[in-house]
Structure 1
Amino acid sequence: MPNIVSFENIDEEHLILNIDKVKVISPIRRILLLTEFIIKWNRDNKENLPISVVHNLTSLLDELGHNQIPISALNLDDSTEHWQSRFLSEFAQAWGSVLQNEIDPLEHKNNYINNIIYSKDEHVIFAGIHPSKICHALIKIIYNLEFGLIVLPNLDLCMKEEEWSRINEEHYQYCLKGLLDYVGASREDVQYLTAAPKIGNELIEYAFDLSKNLYDFNTKEDSNFEIITCKSQEEEAQIISMIIKNEENVSLFISDGLLSKRINSLLNEESATDNYYLYITFLLYILDILTSNWGSVELLSLLKHPFIDLGYPKDEYNKILADFEIKILRNLNQMGIEAIKKGIDSYNDSEISSFFSKVEPGFAPLTSNINHNISKIAKAHIECVQRLSKFLQLGNEISDFMVALIRECEKVEINTLELYQKILNLLLQNKFSSISNHLHRFSLHKNKVVILTNFNEGHFPPDFQNPLLSPSMRKQIGLPSTQIGYFQYTLYNLMHAEKVYITRSVKGISGVNRKPFLLQRLEMLIRKNGNALNKQPFKEWLKLLTKPDFIISCSRPKPKPPIDVRLKKLQTLSSTAVEKLIRNPYSFYAEYILDLKPLRELNFKPTIMHFGITIHKIFEKYLLSQNNSYEILLNIAHKYMNFPSIQSIWWPKFQKIAKDFFKLDVERRKNFSVVEVEKAFSWPLSEKITIRAKCDRIEHLLDGSIAIIDYKTGSLPTQSDVEISPQLILQAITAMHSMNREIKELMYWRFNGKQAEIFTIENHEEIVQFLSTNIKDFLSNFLNENVPFTASYSLNLKRSSNYKHLERTEEWL
């Protein structure tokens, strides 16, 4: 039997026989040493490069090794670029000294190939191609053997010589041309394996060869392509997972990390042993909790992981966890374990307290080793895994990986849990993430079914350029300017599979995705060929799988609560409540009659709404102080603006708002004698209904009239909005009835940190009169138990609502 060896492992036997002589650096140690360099560089240069730069350095080392370029080539002239040149020069010197007693894997492979000896009568066949000079060197050795044979898949022997000589680096035949030039052969020296030359698939030839006119294509044969266009990446992941489950010998190309995670998640819903997805997430979630200071999202991610039950029966565990989330985590004002324990103590729930007493000790090994060497942190990490999940048996590969990591960590001086977390992320991605997008690892003879995912502009062809190198730096080092030609060649080969699925999603993170030129050309050829683009019903299957067994018809919500409830809830109404009743009666029903309140978000952070509430409070305290000093305004602000991110986000914005407000307030003081703030008024419409309103600012003008002002930090209403958002009008009516004073001005003051804006309501007397006349009949109408609180849609589309999911507008509209 022939001895079959992959190019990836060509030196494996030599390594085994010379294990004591050759010390090849392990992938784990390589990443640890690169991380050490990044940390030292940041410290020495007062920089803050992310640890993820290790990925770029790893790919750079691989590229140098593949192209037989020594590390010393990175000693670039500082005048060529800015920080990259200095960074790479220091890296070259540091890396050279680090590897004094060890050797890089690609350097060893290079040495092995250069010194390989084949006997004269030995038959050696090399099939395939890799763009590296290492591969070219091996092919040249085999080519020069008496019985050496080279098999070059899909070399175009029909292209005219003139066209062949002109093909550029991005052409799918360029890498083959470069190989023939390197070994000193021409296409005339190449023979077909079959008796007569035959183009494998004319449709693919026309798609890739831009010199061919699409109108000349008239071949009628079945296409091996299915192009599936999805609405979203989520749908794309679902369809890809369905194809993988229903097809055999699938080769998958993924260039998008998020899509890869989605597919892994779908494929591992039933089993965690296929590619260790759940094991890896479990390892990382434990670290996320501590590095996020016990963030609620991170804590729930771990507690909802299928590997954790803390010894409870499943149903009981889910019930306690739901109570813990709603009662404790969603009511925290700040993060941290002390805040969680304080919340549990204040709630005084023994069941939740007992539950958390089983969670906290699981992290004790890590909390006591946070700033130690990462070798100790790794050991503590494993102990935490065992404490939190007694039944968990780590897969052999995961266990071997963690043992190797602990061993290698002892040789480096890296501390802190944060660094350990980043390094572990890097290593797990490198070790266990999908390698399907590593082009040179595709085995052509296995490609019965190929899935080319995320086939959108920007991903096909993907960006192969290392961000550490500019084009001029690549040229100076001696690296090829692009790898697109090899990508096109690999893509060309993959498209000759028995079945090719091309998937893409219309909607992407940054907007609408565009089709790459190759796909546009391919679709035109398929249509011209008379074939359908989507022949297999995977999208239809997905609809059937996700379609509910039955659909309950949904009519427009029109609840009719009993009269006693109506009398109780409408007895005293705020101006805000009245406005919501006018805009959407159902939203009023959900909030004020059913008393439904939205759950607070996890890891609560102040929003622009909370910022606006705080500004109202600051302005109130400032005006009550009877002091016109700008310094007093800032001092008051410091007392109330004490939430997180104040210095970096809110405070600079507030300073501009404070200047605008102070200037406007000083100008207005010329026209009034007294200013009242946050003053509440009542307006009894009838014995059964009373409206209450609170005004942000009331100015008693010198002519005896008043001005009512409402502060805004969001968008300003328009004149037409006032009729459907009458909150300020209601404030004016209640103030007018209580004070018996003429209202001269109704204004909104808007402060957004850019420029103060004033919007004065025109003809406010008419609007006030109209609302005063009609509001009583409108509200009294809802005291009739036959009148429903109907869901509105014409106004609801303009504003978001906490109760929109209850209205189910899209189902009845």
Structure 2
Amino acid sequence: MSVFAVPIGVDFPEALVAGLVERMADQPPEAMARVQLYLNSGRMLRRVREVFLSEGARYLPHLRLVSDLGQDPLAGLPLAVSGLRRKLELAQLVEQLTRAIPAFEAGSSHIQLAESLSSLIAEMQSEGVHPDDLETIEMSENYAEHWRRSLEFIKIVARYFEGDAGLDAEARQRLVVEEIARSWAHTPPEDPVIVAGSTGSRGATAAFMRAVCGLEDGMVVLPGFDRDMTDLAWNSLFSGKFPIEDHPQYRFRGLLDSLGLTPGDVRDWTGAVPNAAARNKLVSLALRPAPVTDQWRIEGRDLGDLRQACAGLSLIEARDPRHEALSIALRMREGLETGRSVALITPDRLLARRVTAALDRWGIIPDDSAGQPLQLTAPGRLLRHVADLRGAALTIADLLVLLKHPLCATGAGSDARGQHLRLTRDLELALRRDGPAFPSAESLSVWAAKKPEDRATWSSWVAEMIQGFETPEKQPLLASIETHLDLTERLAAGPGGSAEVSELWREEGGREALRLMSELRREAGYGGEMTPFAYAELVKLQLQGGMARSGRSAHPRVAIWGTLEARASNADLIICGGLNEGSWPEAPAPDPWLNRQMRLEVGLLLPERQIGLSAHDFQQAMGAGEVVLSRARRDAEAETIPSRWLNRITNLLQGLPEQGGDVALAEMRTRGTHWLSLADQLETPQITLAPAPRPSPRPPRAHRPKNISVTAVQTLIRDPYAIYAKRILKLFPLDPMRPAPDPLLRGKILHEIVETFTKTRPESETIEAARERLLSITDTVLERDVAWPSTRRIWRARIARIAGRFCEDEATRLTEGTPTVIEEKVTVPLQNVDFSVTAKPDRIDLLSDGQARIFDYKSGGLPSEAEIIAFNKQMLLEAAMVERGAFADIGVRRVAGMTYVRLGGGGESPDVKGVSKDRTETPDEAWARLAGLVARYQSQTQGYTARRAMQKTADRSDYDLLARFGEWDTTDEPEPEDLT
């Protein structure tokens, strides 16, 4: 048998070509063209072709991918059915399971479960495991009921293993391999057949490699074979209850065992020498299986001077992912400037995007092998947005996400797109100011009526879009797809535009999105009916399988690769980024169908298999001439855990001080710290700005306000800067993008309910009738003005809780007086000052003795007497205005009392006395104090100080950002500034 290997640290494609050329040297030139060379990946195939072409004019072998075997048109084997079709079929079965057993894998959608079940079936077919083999699993009493149910369900999918069910890609791959093996047994090929670059990690691939080894001219060339592993280490891979599948050399041991070979039987493909043989020994020892790590100290003595082994290693331990990305980018830039080729190897796509963004500041475009995930491209985002929003009422934010998307309204030219953006901005301001929270065709019609000549056509188009998002609770998959694509194309076309002219399906991302959506439409007949939520999950899953390559020209000497491409790497400088647990290696995906013991019994792969493959990729990357190991000590959520492989290497180095391991590790960190410090310098602002002082602007008297409402007096006392910003600068806080049922809306609604209740009171009414009328008014107002069903219920319950007490107190109030002033706005001038005060009291009753009583409805907490005297002057000032005859309906009246009516809590109605333990204040005194306060602010020397006397340090103002609060604090003295 001919099993060869290329050691770690040798350029595999170059060594492969060199060895093949050497073996064919005594053959005629055309003999090379008859060689069948099967490779493991598309990148490996391209690299091998490039190396052949660099050797000069010659015949090339027949280059193929192992994964393409399943597409061979063998007689008697139908083509494989689409993987998407199989997932759609399985989704219907899983939906029935989750409906029958709601607790089964709670939190996962049936689309996600169908995806994992599809992966399990593919693995069973690749490994040659039939559902009948599941009968051999012994269900221990210790197994949870979940595993019993999942096993019974898996047996239902046995029909997908039958011939009349259609072949999956994995099943056809294995059948093709078996047919090829049978064919070769009778008629072996006359020319060499070589499998190179594969580890045999999948059952069908391993079976093909075994078939090739059985040929007289068949050869298998293994990548990254560890020649430093001892027999004890090799044997320990299968020594325990579970095989150690997370070891980088595990797959080789399994393949060799199936061939009846030992690691010593594997021959070198060429005589190529590794780049860093001493480092290879260090890494091999560090990654030894757990049963033999006790050999570290014994075998560690043979490693020699570890400073030499680690001479080409650097260790970057950044404080956060941004810091890590910038340090990597700087290291890559330095490599380019010194004439070397550089490659970042990482499975962390977010880190890859961060590094790409950092390189962009110097105009460096890396060759990213993965490209951009389709779901993050403009077409992918628009398709996801539309799918997510179908079947739900569009909020203001949802609508603006669609209208502001860069592909929206691109089907009628740039002028139409500019007009669209202008109208979108106008609509946004209107909606954020006046609502409604859920825009409708009616609200758009009202908005368009203000400028019909400009807005009518466009608003009609938007209204049609909004109505298009209404969808049945459940409908056939094909109908969902058609509606989804129609909505997306109409959004891209814009009013009067064309989807064909729009930018939706252009560029690489658009073409790939159209291909995937067309595939989904083609297989829709197998998907049954779906809810909008399930359909959105399906669209996300479908788009996740697509990538879009950038159209920009990449730098020829800088690349970003996934971990698999470490086998085909040829860069001078390799950077292994994202070396944290959960990133590299990635955590194994949980299997909701079979646990580890069940997998082992039936002959399936353990979850650690993927970790072992990643470990092998890491081990090969470590064999490069110069390597940078990089990780972030913290991510967005918490402290991170170093990758298990990085941990092993650092622990081994620290444990071998006699060989200089601790010094070598310190030097690695020093080399990494250099790039971290450069990143800090790059991020340090070149211009330092002094903190802003606490503002106290003094605008000209002519520009100062001439009136104030009684409710704003509190703001003038506590935060005068807010009055300056709002009344003088005319700056108003933007309403939220996503309106919520906040306290402001609650107060408005409750006030309207009580106002309506008071104004519509009949001549005579029982307390029970009053209560029923109050609740009826509540239902009407809530239904009309509150868009959130859950909020309507909560607020109705709030009114219902106090309705009885409120109606009883109201009956008592009506025996004492008559409501005469309700929500009436009046203005009263101050004496000796060019200034007026405005008030709009909730209610003023004229009592039977000729006096007046003021009522103020409170939807929140009630202010204390001390707060009323200090700054909450509304009731005292309204009383002063009543006594000055401000209200025509009652004239000049003495105020007998002031009462708060709480529309919440227990519905209590306490009187306001204006008396605290420290002070007493009458309405006349409050009026005089207001006049003095206003007089001070009419003086040019008085500034509008920011946060002059906030009640609590934690209180926030709408204008804190404008005042640059945080650069100063409330202990700083204000710095007045005269304005012109």
Q: What is the TM-score with the length of structure 2 in the denominator?
A: 0.65
Retained in 2: the 8 A contact 1:745–1:760? yes
Match in the other structure for 1:790: 945
Match in the other structure for 2:229: 157
Moved more, 802-811 or 369-378: 369-378
In structure 2, C-alpha distance between the alignment counterparts of 1:761 and 1:441, rounded to whole Å: 78
1:713: how far off? 4.4
Match in the other structure for 1:502: 630
Q: Which amino acid aligns with 2:780?
A: K
* Alignment of 1:766 onto 2:939: no
Mapping of 1:708-723 within 5 angstroms? 711=858, 713=860
In structure 2, C-alpha distance between the alignment counterparts of 1:722 and 1:159, rounded to whole Å: 86
Match in the other structure for 1:446: 569
Q: For 1:263-304, what per-residue CA distance to the aligned partner results, in whole angstroms no more than 9, with x for missing partners?
A: 899999999996462333344455566555555444433443
Q: 1:94 to 1:547 in 2, by over 3 A?
A: same
Match in the other structure for 2:715: 580
Q: 1:312 to 1:596 in 2, by over 3 A?
A: same
1:108 to 163, 168, 172: 172
Retained in 2: the 8 A contact 1:253–1:452? yes
Match in the other structure for 2:39: 6
1:24: how far off? 0.6
Q: 1:637 to 1:107 in 2, by over 3 A?
A: same
Retained in 2: the 8 A contact 1:25–1:102? yes
Q: 1:207 to 1:691 in 2, by over 3 A?
A: farther
1:535: how far off? 5.2
Match in the other structure for 1:562: 700
Match in the other structure for 2:379: 279
Q: How many residues of Structure 1 are paired with residues of Structure 2 in the alignment?
A: 800
Q: For 1:36-86, what per-residue CA distance to the aligned partner results, in whole angstroms no more than 9, with x for missing partners?
A: 445565677799945343332333333434443335567898996557755
* Alignment of 1:124 onto 2:249: no
1:333: how far off? 0.6
In structure 1, C-alpha distance between the alignment counterparts of 2:37 and 2:910, rounded to whole Å: 80
Match in the other structure for 2:538: 423
* Alignment of 1:25 onto 2:45: no
Q: Which amino acid aligns with 1:32?
A: L
Q: For 1:304-354, what per-residue CA distance to the aligned partner results, in whole angstroms no more than 9, with x for missing partners?
A: 344444324366554444334324576441535514531442332533334
Q: 1:149 to 1:748 in 2, by over 3 A?
A: same
Match in the other structure for 2:590: 466
Q: Which amino acid aligns with 1:564?
A: A
Q: Which amino acid aligns with 1:601?
A: P
Q: 1:373 to 1:477 in 2, by over 3 A?
A: farther
Q: 1:745 to 1:637 in 2, by over 3 A?
A: closer
Q: For 1:585-638, what per-residue CA distance to the aligned partner results, in whole angstroms no more than 9, with x for missing partners?
A: 222222233333233333544335423543454466668867654655543432
In structure 2, C-alpha distance between the alignment counterparts of 1:461 and 1:761, rounded to whole Å: 70
Q: Which amino acid aligns with 1:465?
A: A
Retained in 2: the 8 A contact 1:223–1:531? no
* Alignment of 1:799 onto 2:955: yes
Match in the other structure for 2:640: 514
| 3-state DSSP of counterpart to 1:572 | strand
Moved more, 602-611 or 118-127: 118-127
Match in the other structure for 1:322: 425
Percent sequence identity is: 18
In structure 2, C-alpha distance between the alignment counterparts of 1:241 and 1:337, rounded to whole Å: 48
Moved more, 268-277 or 44-53: 268-277
1:105: how far off? 1.2
Mapping of 1:231-630 within 5 angstroms? 231=320, 250=343, 252-254=345-347, 275=372, 277-285=377-385, 287=387, 291-292=391-392, 295-307=395-407, 308-309=409-410, 310-313=412-415, 318-327=421-430, 331-335=434-438, 338-339=441-442, 341-356=444-459, 373=479, 376-377=482-483, 380=486, 384=490, 387-388=498-499, 390-392=501-503, 393=506, 395=508, 397-409=512-524, 413-414=528-529, 421-432=536-547, 441-446=564-569, 448=571, 456=580, 458-459=582-583, 461-469=585-593, 471=595, 474=599, 479-483=604-608, 484-497=611-624, 498-500=626-628, 502-504=630-632, 506-508=634-636, 511-516=637-642, 518=644, 528-529=666-667, 531-532=669-670, 534=672, 537=675, 556-566=694-704, 569-575=705-711, 577-602=712-737, 604-618=739-753, 628-629=767-768
Q: Which amino acid aligns with 1:200?
A: R
Q: 1:756 to 1:495 in 2, by over 3 A?
A: farther
1:12: how far off? 2.0
Retained in 2: the 8 A contact 1:230–1:236? yes
Larger Rg: 2
In structure 2, C-alpha distance between the alignment counterparts of 1:389 and 1:604, rounded to whole Å: 36
Retained in 2: the 8 A contact 1:378–1:406? no
Q: 1:159 to 1:601 in 2, by over 3 A?
A: farther
Q: 1:447 to 1:580 in 2, by over 3 A?
A: farther
Q: What is the TM-score with the length of structure 1 in the denominator?
A: 0.76
1:250: how far off? 3.9
Q: Which amino acid aligns with 1:506?
A: R
Cα RMSD after superposing both structures: 5.8
Match in the other structure for 2:311: 222
In structure 1, C-alpha distance between the alignment counterparts of 2:784 and 2:346, rounded to whole Å: 46
| 3-state DSSP of counterpart to 2:117 | helix
1:10: how far off? 1.6
1:475: how far off? 5.8
In structure 2, C-alpha distance between the alignment counterparts of 1:36 and 1:437, rounded to whole Å: 39
Q: For 1:367-425, what per-residue CA distance to the aligned partner results, in whole angstroms no more than 9, with x for missing partners?
A: 99997635655774686456246153354545544544443335655578776554333
1:427: how far off? 1.4
Q: For 1:675-728, what per-residue CA distance to the aligned partner results, in whole angstroms no more than 9, with x for missing partners?
A: 989878989764535555667799999xx99998874548x889998887x32x
* Alignment of 1:637 onto 2:730: no
Match in the other structure for 2:72: 16
Match in the other structure for 2:44: none
Q: 1:517 to 1:736 in 2, by over 3 A?
A: farther
- Structure 2 unaligned residues grouped into runs of 5+: 1-31, 42-64, 550-558, 654-663, 884-893, 970-980
| 3-state DSSP of counterpart to 2:81 | coil
Retained in 2: the 8 A contact 1:375–1:407? no
| 3-state DSSP of counterpart to 2:124 | helix
In structure 2, C-alpha distance between the alignment counterparts of 1:173 and 1:63, rounded to whole Å: 20
In structure 2, C-alpha distance between the alignment counterparts of 1:180 and 1:411, rounded to whole Å: 42
Moved more, 135-144 or 109-118: 135-144
Retained in 2: the 8 A contact 1:750–1:758? no
| 3-state DSSP of counterpart to 1:764 | coil
1:446: how far off? 1.9
In structure 1, C-alpha distance between the alignment counterparts of 2:166 and 2:920, rounded to whole Å: 85
| 3-state DSSP of counterpart to 1:153 | strand
| 3-state DSSP of counterpart to 1:559 | strand
Retained in 1: the 8 A contact 2:397–2:737? yes
Q: 1:39 to 1:782 in 2, by over 3 A?
A: same
Retained in 2: the 8 A contact 1:736–1:742? no
| 3-state DSSP of counterpart to 1:280 | helix
Q: Which amino acid aligns with 1:502?
A: S
Retained in 1: the 8 A contact 2:828–2:838? yes
Retained in 2: the 8 A contact 1:365–1:380? no
